Amino acid sequence: MQLNQSTLNHSQDYKQYFRAGDIIFNESDAGKCAYIIKRGRVEISTEDKNGKIILAELSPGELFGEMAIIDDSPRWATARAMDDVVVIIITRDTFLNHLDNTESVVRMFLHTILAKFKSVHAHLLALGEQQHLWDLRSNSDLHNKTIDQTVRATVDALKFEQSLLKGIENEEFELYYQPVIDLRTDKVAGFEALIRWNHPRRGFISPLDFIPAAEQNGLIIPIGQWVFEQSCKALKEFNQIQELQFLSINVSGKQFIDAGLHEKFVQFSSELGLSPQKIKLEITESILMGNPDESRKLLNRFNDHGFLIAIDDFGTGYSSLSYLNSFPISTLKIDRSFVSTMLKDKGSMNIVHGIAGLAHSLDMDIVAEGPETEEELQTLKDIGCEYAQGYVISKPLPMKEAIEFIKKY
Could you list the residues that contact ligand C2E (CB under 6 A)? 178, 194-195, 206-208, 211, 224, 227, 250, 252, 312-313, 336, 369-370, 372, 389-391, 396
Residue 317 binding result from Ca ion, ligand C2E, none, given CB thresholds of 5 to 8 Å by partner type? none
- Give dist(CA 284, CA 328) in Å, integer: 14
Query: Within a 10 A sphere around the Cβ of 330, how many other Cβ atoms?
Result: 18
Q: Between residue 306 and residue 325, which ones bind Ca ion under the rule CB under 5 A?
A: 312-313
Residue 259 binding result from ligand C2E, Ca ion, none, given CB thresholds of 5 to 8 Å by partner type? none
| Residue number with CB closer to Ca ion (282 or 376) | 282
| Residue number with CB closer to ligand C2E (35 or 197) | 197
Q: Between residue 137 and residue 166, which ones bind Ca ion under the rule CB under 5 A?
A: none
| Residue number with CB closer to ligand C2E (157 or 392) | 392
Q: Map residues 340-379 to x or -, x wherever contact with Ca ion holds by CB under 5 A.
A: ----------------------------------------
- Which 8-state DSSP code applies to residue 53? E
Residue 84 binding result from Ca ion, ligand C2E, none, given CB thresholds of 5 to 8 Å by partner type? none
| Residue number with CB closer to ligand C2E (122 or 393) | 393
With CB under 5 A as the contact rule, the residue among 215, 258, 282, 376 that binds Ca ion is: 282
Taking the complex as a whole, the smallest distance from the CB of residue 397 to ligand C2E amounts, in Å, to 10
By CB under 5 A, residue 215 contacts Ca ion: no
- Which 8-state DSSP code applies to residue 26? -
Residues 6 or more apart in contact with residue 396 via CB below 8 angstroms: 176, 177, 178, 192, 194
Count residues near Ca ion (CB under 5 A): 4
Taking the complex as a whole, the smallest distance from the CB of residue 92 to Ca ion amounts, in Å, to 31
Residue 386 binding result from Ca ion, ligand C2E, none, given CB thresholds of 5 to 8 Å by partner type? none
Q: b/e string for 298-320 if b means 16 or more Cβ within 10 A?
A: bbebbbebebbbbbbbbbebebe
Taking the complex as a whole, the smallest distance from the CB of residue 284 to Ca ion amounts, in Å, to 7
| Residue number with CB closer to ligand C2E (33 or 279) | 279
Q: Between residue 237 and residue 276, which ones bind Ca ion under the rule CB under 5 A?
A: 250
CB 189 within 8 A of CB 182: yes
**Minimal CA–CA distance to 127: which of 111, 145, 149, 142?**
142
Residue 195 binding result from Ca ion, ligand C2E, none, given CB thresholds of 5 to 8 Å by partner type? ligand C2E
| Residue number with CB closer to ligand C2E (21 or 222) | 222
Residue 391 binding result from ligand C2E, Ca ion, none, given CB thresholds of 5 to 8 Å by partner type? ligand C2E
CB 181 within 8 A of CB 387: yes
Q: Is 189 exposed, middle or buried (0-12, 13-18, 19+ CB in 10 A)?
A: buried
The greatest distance separating any two alpha carbons of the chain, rounded to the nearest whole angstrom, comes to 86
Taking the complex as a whole, the smallest distance from the CB of residue 250 to ligand C2E amounts, in Å, to 4
> How crowded is the C-beta side of 195, counted as CA atoms within 13 Å?
27
CB 335 within 8 A of CB 316: yes
Beta strand 85-91 with 173-182: parallel, antiparallel or unpaired?
unpaired
| Residue number with CB closer to ligand C2E (224 or 276) | 224
Taking the complex as a whole, the smallest distance from the CB of residue 354 to Ca ion amounts, in Å, to 18
Residue 179 binding result from ligand C2E, Ca ion, none, given CB thresholds of 5 to 8 Å by partner type? none
**Minimal CA–CA distance to 223: which of 197, 198, 184?**
197
| Residue number with CB closer to Ca ion (258 or 312) | 312
Residue type, 170: N
Secondary structure percentages of the chain, helix, strand, coil, to 5: 50, 25, 25
Residue 283 binding result from Ca ion, ligand C2E, none, given CB thresholds of 5 to 8 Å by partner type? none
| Residue number with CB closer to Ca ion (215 or 313) | 313
Ramachandran category for residue 306: left, alpha or beta (phi over 0 → left; psi -120 to 50 → alpha):
left
- Give dist(CA 349, CA 404) in Å, integer: 34
List interacting residues with Ca ion (CB under 5 A): 250, 282, 312-313
